[in-house]
Amino acid sequence: MDKKERSELSAQLSEIIDYYIKIMPHPDQHQPSLFNNQYNIRDKIDVLERILEILRIENRHLYNNFPMEIFIQGSVDLNQDGLQLIEPQKCRRLGSGTRSIQLQPKLLLFLLFRHNYKKDDVYNIIEDFIETIWDHLNILDFKKTKTGVFRCFTNTRFAAYKLRDYGLLKFTKEEAFKTWKLSLPGILVAVDAMEEKNWHVPPIPTQAGHELHPCIRGAFENLLTFNDFIKRLALVCQPNVSVFNEFERSLKIAYPLLQDYWSTLKDPSLKKEVRLEQSKEKLKQLEDDSEIEKFYKHFTSCLNVGDIKSLKWS
């Protein structure tokens, strides 16, 4: 079942559901309907799913044991005689959807656009991130794991944990356990990703040999000078660029530390454990500097990237 077939089936089912399922207020109800009388197809799908949940409970069959991978390789015929599933002649391996490492660059970009959300819990971040990159995911990304969570939600968490391990997300008690917040190197990567002006999830070879996406490891290659470093930060801070003059001394300390950090990330001779340990050491020097931390707070308070909802990116 390819994308076109799924779209055609969806259109047919939507028409049937819309026709047969009605959501009616109680005849004696004087308050507005729970659905505000807006009986759209999404409401009706929700009602149908609740009905199927009752059927599952009554049959003591809570989990769907029909593999998604087999189902999408078959075909569905929906006509006046009913619905018929035709099993695939031969099943092939489809993989497991978009890998968590592929999500890393665009997750950093997404967090850059949400920098001014005061209280943003992790679940809301994941939900809105998936909605943003939806068109670049495949159907297997929406397979539910044994815990009942969509695979793409779980992989987004894994992506964030790895970014946090390497210091691209802040790791304090406040940020790590309640929300995800970009660190200074995380912002640099996000601004680099912003130049592409799309939400395309970049591919990566099956055997990557690294825990961070190549787009992240290469994000510092164009920052050959201190001025390049400042120009990239200024792209998301204009017109309030006075912060760079005010904290010039701190930035001149931060730049070489960031160069060392990126050199560590790109060093192919280092084992994974050593690379992780050394990158953390470099960032600790950065975060332990009170003046650099002051710059970070001032800089993030004047970030100017606009509203993600107004973007026309595909």
* pLDDT tens per residue across span 2-15: 888 899 999 999 99
Radius of gyration of the chain (CA): 24
Q: Would you place residue 89 in the very low, low, confident or very high pLDDT band (cuts 50, 70, 90)?
A: confident
Average pLDDT over residues 151-172: 92
Query: What is the structure's pLDDT at 1?
Result: 81
Query: What is the structure's pLDDT at 177?
Result: 62
Query: What is the structure's pLDDT at 239?
Result: 87
* pLDDT tens per residue across span 271-313: 989 999 998 888 888 888 999 999 999 999 989 988 887 788 9
Map out the domains of the chain as residue ranges. 3-86, 100-310
- Give percent of the chain above pLDDT 70: 93
Average pLDDT over residues 65-93: 89
Average pLDDT over residues 122-128: 93
Query: What is the structure's pLDDT at 90?
Result: 86
pLDDT beyond 90 at 111 = yes
pLDDT beyond 90 at 96 = no
